[in-house]
Amino acid sequence: MGEPPATTPQDDFHVDVRLCHPFIEAVSDTLRTLCALNPTVGKPMFRDPGAKAPRFGVKILAALSSDTLVAMVTMSFPQDLFLKVVSRILGAEVRAVTPEVEEAAKEFSNIVFNRAGRIIAGKKMAVIRSIPAIVFGDGLRTAYYASGRTIVLPLSTEAGNLEIEITGQRLVAQAPILEAA
């Protein structure tokens, strides 16, 4: 009959906590099985908008969306830790970002996001993921255009510390826009 109502971002912050555990589990499991690292999960915390976030050398980002939520998931690594992770994936020491490191980063991100996606689907959540983006650079900091706080999930390994950040906004239904005939 008619189209379903359109959705737009609501002004308040909302992260479905069911998203946190899948990413903690996916990153931890990938680091354990692929890199022989033993991650420990730290205490989750919130980072307020405008608060200075730590700087990192590698960021892996992807958006998630459902009929009620739009979220951004970011994995942030110091560059030296990420090079150690990739060294373990490749089985050879790497000391700089090269095309091979970039390919390994793509593989790592695909494994993590696919594992998290399977866990999320098992929770009967219908979520669509964007194509991940990987950014390399010195002193990278993430700023989100969401109006609320970001949840930070710290992980530590014997090779260094990383963060998973999740921020999002709820979507609210609106009546469809009618166009003049």
3-class DSSP string for the chain = CCCCCEEEEEEEECCCHHHHHHHHHHHHHHHHHHHCCCCEECCCEEECCCCCCCCEEEEEEEEEECCCEEEEEEEEECHHHHHHHHHHHHCCCCCCCCHHHHHHHHHHHHHHHHHHHHHHHHCCCCCEECCCEEEEEEEECCCCCCCCCEEEEEEEECCEEEEEEEEEEEEEEECCCCCCC
Neighbours of 109 (CB within 10 A): 19
Instruction: Please choose, from the candidates 162, 46, 176, the residue with its C-alpha nearest in 3D space to the C-alpha of residue 112.
Output: 162
- How large is the C-alpha radius of gyration of the chain? 18
Residue 180 belongs to a domain? no
Q: Domain containing 164: what range? A: 6-170
Instruction: Please choose, from the candidates 62, 73, 70, the residue with its C-alpha nearest in 3D space to the C-alpha of residue 172.
Output: 70
The pLDDT of residue 95 is 95
Round to whole Å and give the CA distance between 119 and 6: 28
The pLDDT of residue 55 is 87
Residue 147 belongs to a domain? yes
Write out pLDDT tens, residues 98-142.
999 999 999 999 999 999 999 998 988 888 899 999 999 988 888
Residue 69 belongs to a domain? yes
Write out pLDDT tens, residues 25-47.
999 999 999 999 999 999 999 88
Residue 177 belongs to a domain? no
Residue 132 belongs to a domain? yes
Write out pLDDT tens, residues 59-84.
999 988 888 778 889 999 999 999 99
18 or 166, which is more confident: 166
Residue 179 belongs to a domain? no
pLDDT band at residue 89 using 50, 70 and 90 as cut-offs: very high
Side chain identity at 135, as an amino acid letter? Answer: V
Residues in the chain: 181
Residue 1 belongs to a domain? no
- The CATH number of whichever domain residue 17 belongs to comes to 3.40.1550.10
Residue 119 belongs to a domain? yes
| Structural domain count of the chain | 1
Round to whole Å and give the CA distance between 18 and 125: 9
Average pLDDT score, the chain = 84
